Amino acid sequence: MRTEPERGSLAPVPYVAALDQVRSTLSPIGIERIPIERAVDRIAARDLVAPSQIPSHPLSTRGGFALRAADTQAGSLRRPQQMQVIGTSFPDTPPSSLPSLTPGSVVAVSGGAPLPPGADAVVPTEMVDVREDRVLIAVPVRAGSCVLFPGDEVRDGTPLVSEGRYLGPSQLGLLAATGLSHIEVYKTPRVALISPATEAFEETESFEPGDETLRSDRHGRHMPASNAVTLGAWCSRFGLSVKRWNVCRDGKSLISSLGEASDECDAIITSGNAGPGTLDSLHETLGQLDGELLFDGILLRPGRATSLGLIQGKPIFLLPGTPTANETAFLLLALPGLLALSGTIEPPFPVAPVRFGKDVRRSPEQMRWTQAVRVRFEQGAFFLQAMPLPGRAVREKQGRLAALASADGILILGEDQEGPRMGDIMSVILLESSWA
């Protein structure tokens, strides 16, 4: 059995070092081959290249008449060229069934339809005079007009989607057009959310919104399961499946739940009981399960009581229980780790320059840490305007959850980095894509 390090024997690590260790330690959990129709928002496990060219045969880009451009060069308004319609082509018409063009003949085509043999141009319907099975063309047509030739859109071997990229509807449509029906994607990790009893609802089948049957912490304060709901919602937004455990803080319950979670899931996240103190049973339990503690605390505020360990080779993120610290540590550390398990190389959130409407002052003590400052956005003339949300003293009176819910972005200030002054422009993480 591995001996759990004594609390405090591992010094808190800088945030950037912790993030680097998370990304270097965790890797995709596996690959599966699935039908392309089920691959939306999945992550490509291979560089995907075109197995065939698009289009595979000449296509019309407009509804009109396919013809030989040379047959129209003598036409004029006074003496239009008269052409004979010898067939019709639709998008689903087999190219082999179309008649070959002869001098003075045309084939009626719809947009996206294959061209008959011998055609090198299409004249739109609105540019000709149609008379039963004949058309009159008064303007010379340029060769290649309104036509896509083989390979014009995609050539054989063209890179379409890089490994680690999300597959959206447009990418899947392009892949399908090249003839792909199944593709390899990274497996989606399953996340265990373990809530100690200080945060868990009591088990009851009759719970309704507003029910007050909640457990209390050691100070007698009710602690609703807001952290688990918040983290579960973030996981769902990124396509991660979740299973929840609500457990008592005694060692037997924790050992049982952590054992089940490591067997059933690919990553574990706990909320609360993460910092040093007499209730620090999570760290003790980690040692009893032959777990390994990779780092114990990070120089991040809020979120300093965050640790990373391994159980059976699977990551366990021990997050603080305070809502602000819990969500911050999840977004800035655990979520990048979960996405590494998913195989993505894309960042979880976009970043944009914003202009600050108020100073963000940092004391010398605060500049020893990486600080995550939550901000609210307002529309500005050229940049989004960022207003820092109230500090800790105000949040304690007005409610931490309310402050969390009103945040649109997060400003990351590194160690020794001064905060922005009013009017400064700095890059901020956008939590909601509507601001991107």
> How many domains is the chain built from?
4
Domain extent, residue 204, equals: 13-30+187-342
- Kindly state whether residues 369 and 406 are assigned to the same domain: yes
Mean pLDDT over 144-150 rounds to: 94
pLDDT at 246 (0 to 100): 79
Residues 238, 242, 247, 249: is their CA dihedral positive or negative? negative
- Kindly state whether residues 334 and 209 are assigned to the same domain: yes
Would 8 be classed as within a structural domain? no
Does 366 score more than 70 pLDDT? yes
Separation of alpha carbons 428 and 436, rounded Å: 11
- Kindly state whether residues 200 and 261 are assigned to the same domain: yes
Would 316 be classed as within a structural domain? yes
Question: Please, which pLDDT band fits residue 329 given cuts at 50, 70 and 90?
Answer: very high
Separation of alpha carbons 118 and 285, rounded Å: 77
The pTM (predicted TM-score) of the whole model is 0.78
pLDDT at 11 (0 to 100): 79
| Tokens standing for residue 154 | 């995609």
pLDDT at 50 (0 to 100): 87
- Kindly state whether residues 322 and 234 are assigned to the same domain: yes
Does 5 score more than 60 pLDDT? no
pLDDT at 273 (0 to 100): 65
Does 433 score more than 60 pLDDT? yes
- Kindly state whether residues 25 and 36 are assigned to the same domain: no
What are the tens digits of pLDDT across the range 15-61? Answer: 999 999 999 999 999 999 999 999 999 999 999 988 888 888 999 99
CB 348 within 8 A of CB 436: no
What are the tens digits of pLDDT across the range 183-193? Answer: 999 999 999 99
C-alpha distances in angstroms, 51 versus 54, 82, 114, 115, 327? 10, 42, 20, 23, 44
What are the tens digits of pLDDT across the range 253-266? Answer: 778 888 888 899 99
DSSP 333: I
Question: Please, which pLDDT band fits residue 202 given cuts at 50, 70 and 90?
Answer: very low
pLDDT at 210 (0 to 100): 37
Would 88 be classed as within a structural domain? yes
Domain ends where: 293, 323, 342? 342
pLDDT at 10 (0 to 100): 66
- Kindly state whether residues 177 and 196 are assigned to the same domain: no
CB 67 within 8 A of CB 102: no
